[in-house]
Amino acid sequence: MSKDAGRVAERSRTIDSVKVALLGCGVVGTQVVRLLREQSEELAARVGAPIELAGIAVRRPQRHPDVPAELLTTDAAGLVARPDVDVVVELMGGIEPARDLLLDALKNDRSVVSANKALLAEEGEALATAARESGADLYYEASVAGAIPLLRPIQQSLAGDRIRRVAGIVNGTTNFILSAMESTGAGYADALEEAGRLGYAEADPTADVDGYDAASKAAILASLAFHTRVTASDVHREGIRDVTATDIASAKALGCSVKLLAICEQVDGDAGSTVSARVYPAMIPKAHPLASVSGAFNAVFVEADAAGPLMFYGQGAGGPQTASAVLGDLVAAARNRVIGGRGPRDTAYAHLSVQPMGEVRTRYHVNVDVHDRAGVLAAVASVFAEHGVSIATVKQEGGREAESPDADDAGHGGDAGTDATLVVVTHEAPDAALRATVDALSGLDSVRGVASVLRVEGLGRPVHALGGAQ
């Protein structure tokens, strides 16, 4: 009998209840405690043995009057090291001390359940290695898209298929802000304030609005979908701070919505396959199902060779919602303890390198503020052409006809009433070419400035409304 199998067999002989150490009792932890209490009999029936809390590590015990005092401890390391603990549920967040605590737990054959995307995105390899070596389980369904069952379908239900792309809305706070901007015409600052008032945005919203949270989730998704290792720092990241009410209005005019997308793709090239993982706000056609995902909801498209497109939709955040995913993982880990099984290992065998962002091909919507004078359109178009960026459509907004029909038309713009905006939508081009185009445009005499650049993502569907084939 192998060392692993021996350990598993020994566990199944000795377990008459599954003992859980809970680390952290905040928004999610409180709900996990509640559900464990309220559903204890059903959970015992599903697992085959009762799930019992061995202890709860908190910072300030006096802040948890609803929890039996004998369960509370400020000594998280001591709790994890207790010999009767079978599963450690980590809901503290942050990298340390969570990392060391979970590595210790796994090395000592405690299974681990965590909702900590920052930790999983950064230290997934070390944690998976520790789990593999000890034969313990490592589950983290709650870390991406909260309540939505997503990681288990990717890892297990689609294990026989080949996933090509995982793309979607994985941050509820930013989706709430962008939806509010679209529905009310509000600016970014007002929408953020509203998100804070309703409890979606945290006091420091940086992780959400600057895309760090979504980048961690993208790293986890790309690693699982493509059987490789992608960390948060491998993910190209742009947040939503610079999205303006004008961007949203421009998108609307083109039949699009602006969404903060996390996109993970396997890219097959002559030199082999690479993985692209990126987070940025992009226009998507309103006809695309992701465009109608509003408020704090999440939705993720998974495209696999045989299965085709699949969509996962639901609440990606919130105490009870996230606790649902944590409990699902806990039941899986507890069942394995009771019956002597073991969950699937992470299979990071592909060792794919990450495609540089400059090589990623998408379409772009560019607003160029210009002096409305003869030749400006040709000058702007030639800059796109020189950089190999093909224009699909161009439209002029404002300018002499619209704003100042009686103005002297000598063709020397720059004075009030002679400004215009060229709205350019391109065909697919490499990101580096578009960046160089924007830099060069800013140097033209006739250009007042590049007001905005937003990517346009069809996500597998042609963007007919914007002109030209993709």
Ligand X SMILES: N[C@@H](CCO)C(=O)O
Ligand Y SMILES: NC(=O)c1ccc[n+]([C@@H]2O[C@H](COP(=O)([O-])OP(=O)(O)OC[C@H]3O[C@@H](n4cnc5c(N)ncnc54)[C@H](O)[C@@H]3O)[C@@H](O)[C@H]2O)c1
- Asked if 141 interacts with Na ion (CB under 5 A), we say yes
Q: Name which of 332 and 368 has its Cβ closer to ligand Y.
A: 332
- Angle, helices 117-134/212-225, rounded to nearest 10 degrees: 30
- Angle, helices 172-184/245-253, rounded to nearest 10 degrees: 70
Closest approach, Cβ 146 to ligand X, in A, equals: 5
* One of 145, 166, 258, 334 touching Na ion (CB under 5 A): 145
Q: Interaction with ligand X in 177-216: which residues (CB under 6 A)?
A: 208, 213
Q: Interaction with ligand X in 298-327: which residues (CB under 6 A)?
A: 316-317
- Asked if 117 interacts with ligand Y (CB under 6 A), we say yes
Bridge partners of 397, per DSSP, are 421
Query: What is the Cα–Cα distance from 401 to 120, expressed in whole angstroms?
Result: 56
Of 379, 378, 358, the residue nearest 435 (C-alpha):
358
Of 135, 139, 159, the residue nearest 340 (C-alpha):
135
Closest approach, Cβ 185 to ligand X, in A, equals: 23
Q: Which two tokens stand for residue 43?
A: 């959970």
State the catalytic residue, choosing from 19, 117, 217, 259: 217
- Asked if 112 interacts with ligand Y (CB under 6 A), we say no
Of 67, 42, 37, 15, the residue nearest 333 (C-alpha):
15
Number of shown-chain residues binding Na ion (CB under 5 A)? 5
- Asked if 260 interacts with ligand Y (CB under 6 A), we say no
- Asked if 178 interacts with Na ion (CB under 5 A), we say no
Closest approach, Cβ 82 to ligand Y, in A, equals: 15
Q: Choosing among Na ion, ligand X, ligand Y, none, which partner's interface includes residue 150 (Cβ < 5 to 8 Å by kind)?
A: Na ion
- Asked if 171 interacts with ligand Y (CB under 6 A), we say no
Active site (annotated) includes residue 286: no
The dihedral built from the CA positions of residue 352, 356, 361 and 362, taken in this order, carries a sign that is: positive
- Asked if 317 interacts with ligand Y (CB under 6 A), we say yes
Of 160, 470, 459, the residue nearest 311 (C-alpha):
459
Query: 340 — alpha (psi -120 to 50), left (phi > 0) or beta?
Result: left
CB 311 within 8 A of CB 140: no
Looking at this protein, which amino acid is placed at residue 202? E
| C-alpha distances out from residue 144 to 28, 40, 80, 213, 298, Å | 14, 26, 24, 9, 10
Looking at this protein, which amino acid is placed at residue 381? A
- Asked if 25 interacts with ligand Y (CB under 6 A), we say yes
**Residue of closest CB approach to Na ion:** 145
In the stretch 293-312, what mask flags binding to ligand Y with x, by CB under 6 A? --------------------
Q: Name which of 127 and 422 has its Cβ closer to ligand Y.
A: 127
- Where along the sequence are the contacts to ligand X (CB under 6 A)? 146, 171-173, 208, 213, 316-317
| Residues tagged active-site | 217
- Where along the sequence are the contacts to ligand Y (CB under 6 A)? 24-29, 57-59, 76, 91-93, 97, 115-117, 142-143, 146, 317-318, 322
